[in-house]
Amino acid sequence: MSEEVRPRDVELSDDEVIGAASVLLAQRGHAKAAALMLDVTSARIERHSSYEETMSYTYEREYEEVILEVEPYLMNNSGYLLEDIRSAFTTVGAGCGRNIDDVYIREVIPKVGANWREQLGRELKGGYQTNHARKVRLEPRHPMEDGLHFTNEWEQRVYQVLKERQARLPQNETIGIMPLCALRVPDHTFEPDFLITYRGRVGVIEVDGPQHKSRVSADRSRDRLFKHAGVRDVDRLCVEDSTTKEEVEKFVTDFLKHLVD
Protein backbone atom coordinates (compact mmCIF):
# COMPACT_ATOMS: atom_id res chain seq x y z
CA MET A 1 0.00 0.00 0.00
CA SER A 2 1.37 3.41 -0.92
CA GLU A 3 2.13 5.87 1.82
CA GLU A 4 -0.79 8.21 2.56
CA VAL A 5 -0.29 11.71 1.21
CA ARG A 6 -0.88 14.40 3.82
CA PRO A 7 -3.41 16.94 2.47
CA ARG A 8 -2.63 20.66 2.49
CA ASP A 9 -3.87 22.76 5.41
CA VAL A 10 -3.66 19.73 7.72
CA GLU A 11 -2.68 20.53 11.29
CA LEU A 12 0.98 19.91 12.13
CA SER A 13 2.64 19.91 15.54
CA ASP A 14 5.50 22.32 16.18
CA ASP A 15 8.02 19.50 15.89
CA GLU A 16 6.50 18.36 12.59
CA VAL A 17 6.72 21.90 11.20
CA ILE A 18 10.39 22.12 12.16
CA GLY A 19 11.10 18.68 10.72
CA ALA A 20 9.23 19.35 7.49
CA ALA A 21 11.10 22.63 6.94
CA SER A 22 14.44 20.91 7.56
CA VAL A 23 13.70 18.12 5.08
CA LEU A 24 12.42 20.67 2.55
CA LEU A 25 15.77 22.47 2.75
CA ALA A 26 17.57 19.25 1.83
CA GLN A 27 15.12 18.54 -1.00
CA ARG A 28 15.69 22.03 -2.39
CA GLY A 29 19.43 21.37 -2.47
CA HIS A 30 20.24 23.79 0.38
CA ALA A 31 22.61 21.30 2.04
CA LYS A 32 24.43 23.80 4.28
CA ALA A 33 21.18 25.21 5.65
CA ALA A 34 19.84 21.68 6.26
CA ALA A 35 23.10 20.76 8.02
CA LEU A 36 22.72 23.79 10.28
CA MET A 37 19.28 22.48 11.30
CA LEU A 38 20.99 19.28 12.44
CA ASP A 39 23.36 21.34 14.59
CA VAL A 40 20.78 23.48 16.40
CA THR A 41 20.78 23.01 20.16
CA SER A 42 17.07 23.78 20.42
CA ALA A 43 14.24 24.78 18.08
CA ARG A 44 10.87 26.12 19.13
CA ILE A 45 7.91 28.06 17.73
CA GLU A 46 6.57 31.02 19.71
CA ARG A 47 3.05 32.39 19.25
CA HIS A 48 2.35 36.12 19.35
CA SER A 49 -0.48 38.53 18.65
CA SER A 50 -0.66 42.20 17.80
CA TYR A 51 -3.34 44.74 16.94
CA GLU A 52 -3.34 46.03 13.38
CA GLU A 53 -5.25 49.08 12.16
CA THR A 54 -6.85 49.68 8.78
CA MET A 55 -8.81 52.66 7.48
CA SER A 56 -12.06 51.33 8.91
CA TYR A 57 -11.34 48.99 11.81
CA THR A 58 -8.79 47.42 14.18
CA TYR A 59 -8.20 43.69 14.28
CA GLU A 60 -6.04 41.25 16.20
CA ARG A 61 -3.34 39.54 14.15
CA GLU A 62 -1.90 36.24 15.33
CA TYR A 63 1.47 35.04 14.08
CA GLU A 64 4.33 32.70 14.95
CA GLU A 65 8.11 33.02 15.11
CA VAL A 66 10.66 30.22 14.87
CA ILE A 67 13.56 30.43 17.32
CA LEU A 68 16.68 28.39 16.54
CA GLU A 69 19.44 28.30 19.16
CA VAL A 70 22.98 27.36 18.11
CA GLU A 71 26.40 27.26 19.73
CA PRO A 72 28.32 30.55 19.43
CA TYR A 73 30.84 29.19 16.91
CA LEU A 74 28.01 28.57 14.41
CA MET A 75 26.68 32.14 14.53
CA ASN A 76 29.31 33.62 12.20
CA ASN A 77 28.20 31.39 9.34
CA SER A 78 24.45 31.33 9.89
CA GLY A 79 23.52 34.73 8.47
CA TYR A 80 23.83 33.84 4.81
CA LEU A 81 21.75 30.67 5.39
CA LEU A 82 18.89 32.46 7.13
CA GLU A 83 16.95 33.41 3.98
CA ASP A 84 16.86 29.79 2.80
CA ILE A 85 15.68 28.63 6.23
CA ARG A 86 13.08 31.39 6.46
CA SER A 87 11.71 30.50 3.02
CA ALA A 88 11.36 26.82 3.95
CA PHE A 89 9.45 27.60 7.15
CA THR A 90 7.18 30.06 5.32
CA THR A 91 6.33 27.42 2.72
CA VAL A 92 5.59 24.74 5.32
CA GLY A 93 3.53 27.18 7.39
CA ALA A 94 1.44 28.18 4.39
CA GLY A 95 0.83 24.52 3.60
CA CYS A 96 -0.56 23.74 7.04
CA GLY A 97 -2.47 26.93 7.73
CA ARG A 98 0.05 28.51 10.12
CA ASN A 99 1.22 32.10 9.85
CA ILE A 100 4.98 31.84 10.38
CA ASP A 101 6.11 35.46 10.34
CA ASP A 102 9.87 35.12 10.81
CA VAL A 103 12.80 32.93 11.82
CA TYR A 104 15.52 33.97 14.28
CA ILE A 105 18.88 32.33 14.98
CA ARG A 106 20.26 33.02 18.46
CA GLU A 107 23.28 31.97 20.48
CA VAL A 108 22.83 29.47 23.28
CA ILE A 109 23.30 31.26 26.60
CA PRO A 110 25.96 29.42 28.68
CA LYS A 111 24.78 27.80 31.89
CA VAL A 112 26.69 29.28 34.80
CA GLY A 113 26.44 29.26 38.57
CA ALA A 114 28.03 30.97 41.53
CA ASN A 115 31.41 29.53 40.47
CA TRP A 116 31.31 31.23 37.05
CA ARG A 117 34.83 32.63 37.56
CA GLU A 118 36.22 29.10 37.82
CA GLN A 119 34.26 28.11 34.73
CA LEU A 120 35.64 31.10 32.83
CA GLY A 121 39.15 30.18 33.92
CA ARG A 122 38.73 26.65 32.57
CA GLU A 123 37.43 27.99 29.25
CA LEU A 124 40.39 30.36 28.92
CA LYS A 125 42.88 27.68 29.92
CA GLY A 126 41.54 25.08 27.52
CA GLY A 127 40.64 27.47 24.72
CA TYR A 128 37.10 27.96 23.52
CA GLN A 129 36.23 24.43 22.47
CA THR A 130 34.32 23.94 19.27
CA ASN A 131 33.97 21.21 16.72
CA HIS A 132 36.10 22.97 14.13
CA ALA A 133 35.30 20.45 11.39
CA ARG A 134 31.61 21.29 11.74
CA LYS A 135 32.42 25.00 11.67
CA VAL A 136 34.54 24.66 8.54
CA ARG A 137 31.74 22.68 6.91
CA LEU A 138 29.52 25.77 7.06
CA GLU A 139 32.05 28.13 5.50
CA PRO A 140 30.78 29.10 2.03
CA ARG A 141 34.17 28.95 0.28
CA HIS A 142 36.17 26.30 2.12
CA PRO A 143 37.94 23.62 0.01
CA MET A 144 36.30 20.21 -0.17
CA GLU A 145 37.33 16.93 -1.82
CA ASP A 146 36.09 13.33 -1.53
CA GLY A 147 33.45 14.50 0.95
CA LEU A 148 36.19 15.83 3.26
CA HIS A 149 36.56 19.44 4.37
CA PHE A 150 39.71 21.55 4.70
CA THR A 151 40.42 24.91 6.29
CA ASN A 152 42.41 26.22 3.34
CA GLU A 153 43.99 25.28 0.01
CA TRP A 154 47.33 24.40 1.66
CA GLU A 155 45.67 21.61 3.62
CA GLN A 156 43.92 20.41 0.48
CA ARG A 157 47.26 20.20 -1.38
CA VAL A 158 48.76 18.12 1.41
CA TYR A 159 45.69 15.87 1.29
CA GLN A 160 46.13 15.35 -2.45
CA VAL A 161 49.74 14.23 -1.94
CA LEU A 162 48.69 11.91 0.91
CA LYS A 163 45.93 10.44 -1.27
CA GLU A 164 48.39 9.77 -4.11
CA ARG A 165 50.71 8.01 -1.65
CA GLN A 166 47.75 6.02 -0.34
CA ALA A 167 46.88 4.86 -3.88
CA ARG A 168 50.44 3.56 -4.46
CA LEU A 169 50.51 1.46 -1.30
CA PRO A 170 49.09 -2.09 -1.22
CA GLN A 171 45.63 -2.34 0.32
CA ASN A 172 46.91 -4.45 3.22
CA GLU A 173 49.54 -1.83 4.09
CA THR A 174 47.90 1.49 3.36
CA ILE A 175 47.41 4.72 5.31
CA GLY A 176 44.30 6.28 6.84
CA ILE A 177 43.81 10.03 6.34
CA MET A 178 41.56 11.95 8.76
CA PRO A 179 41.46 15.74 8.28
CA LEU A 180 40.07 18.03 10.99
CA CYS A 181 38.99 15.36 13.45
CA ALA A 182 38.40 16.37 17.05
CA LEU A 183 40.89 14.87 19.53
CA ARG A 184 40.32 15.10 23.27
CA VAL A 185 43.27 15.16 25.68
CA PRO A 186 43.12 16.11 29.38
CA ASP A 187 41.58 19.60 29.75
CA HIS A 188 41.72 20.33 26.01
CA THR A 189 39.94 19.52 22.76
CA PHE A 190 42.04 19.99 19.63
CA GLU A 191 41.46 19.46 15.91
CA PRO A 192 44.75 18.47 14.24
CA ASP A 193 44.94 19.24 10.53
CA PHE A 194 45.57 15.56 9.74
CA LEU A 195 45.49 12.42 11.86
CA ILE A 196 47.34 9.67 9.99
CA THR A 197 47.30 5.92 10.69
CA TYR A 198 50.02 3.67 9.22
CA ARG A 199 51.23 0.19 10.18
CA GLY A 200 49.57 0.32 13.58
CA ARG A 201 50.95 3.76 14.39
CA VAL A 202 49.19 7.12 14.72
CA GLY A 203 50.74 10.42 13.69
CA VAL A 204 49.68 14.04 13.31
CA ILE A 205 50.51 16.47 10.51
CA GLU A 206 49.97 20.18 11.12
CA VAL A 207 50.03 22.56 8.15
CA ASP A 208 51.39 25.84 9.50
CA GLY A 209 50.76 29.16 7.77
CA PRO A 210 52.63 32.40 8.49
CA GLN A 211 50.46 33.12 11.55
CA HIS A 212 52.05 30.22 13.47
CA LYS A 213 55.37 32.02 13.90
CA SER A 214 54.00 33.78 16.97
CA ARG A 215 52.63 30.55 18.45
CA VAL A 216 55.75 28.38 18.69
CA SER A 217 55.52 27.87 22.45
CA ALA A 218 51.80 27.02 22.37
CA ASP A 219 52.34 24.64 19.45
CA ARG A 220 55.08 22.79 21.33
CA SER A 221 52.83 22.36 24.35
CA ARG A 222 50.06 21.03 22.12
CA ASP A 223 52.42 18.60 20.37
CA ARG A 224 53.59 17.32 23.75
CA LEU A 225 49.98 16.66 24.80
CA PHE A 226 49.41 14.70 21.58
CA LYS A 227 52.44 12.51 22.28
CA HIS A 228 51.40 11.93 25.88
CA ALA A 229 48.07 10.68 24.50
CA GLY A 230 49.76 8.04 22.34
CA VAL A 231 50.39 9.90 19.09
CA ARG A 232 53.65 8.45 17.79
CA ASP A 233 54.90 11.46 15.84
CA VAL A 234 53.84 15.07 15.28
CA ASP A 235 55.35 16.91 12.35
CA ARG A 236 54.71 20.39 11.01
CA LEU A 237 54.80 21.50 7.39
CA CYS A 238 55.51 25.21 6.99
CA VAL A 239 53.77 26.37 3.83
CA GLU A 240 56.37 29.09 3.24
CA ASP A 241 59.09 26.42 2.98
CA SER A 242 57.04 24.00 0.86
CA THR A 243 55.96 25.87 -2.24
CA THR A 244 56.22 22.95 -4.67
CA LYS A 245 54.52 19.57 -4.83
CA GLU A 246 57.93 17.86 -4.76
CA GLU A 247 58.69 19.45 -1.38
CA VAL A 248 55.36 18.27 0.03
CA GLU A 249 56.00 14.76 -1.32
CA LYS A 250 59.39 14.68 0.41
CA PHE A 251 57.78 15.84 3.65
CA VAL A 252 55.17 13.03 3.45
CA THR A 253 57.89 10.45 2.71
CA ASP A 254 59.95 11.55 5.71
CA PHE A 255 56.86 11.70 7.95
CA LEU A 256 55.78 8.12 7.15
CA LYS A 257 59.35 6.85 7.56
CA HIS A 258 59.71 8.43 11.00
CA LEU A 259 56.25 7.22 12.01
CA VAL A 260 57.25 3.54 11.73
CA ASP A 261 60.96 3.77 12.66
Same domain flag for 239 and 141: yes
Q: Which residues of the chain have pLDDT under 50?
A: 1-7, 127-132, 138, 214
Note the pLDDT of residue 69: 92
C-alpha–C-alpha distance, residues 233 and 252, integer Å:
12
Q: Are 6 and 18 in contact (CB under 8 A)?
A: no
Same domain flag for 105 and 136: no
Spatial CA neighbour of 160 closest among 182, 132, 179, 140 = 179
Same domain flag for 102 and 18: yes
CATH classification of the domain holding 154:
3.40.1350
Note the pLDDT of residue 250: 95
Q: Which residues pair with 44 in a beta bridge?
A: 67
Count of domains forming the chain = 2
104-141 confidence digits (pLDDT tens): 999 988 888 888 888 787 667 654 444 445 555 545 56
Could you give the 3-state DSSP secondary structure of residue 12? coil
C-alpha–C-alpha distance, residues 229 and 216, integer Å:
20
121 part of a folded domain:
no
Q: Which residues contact 168 (CB under 8 A, 6 or more apart)?
A: none
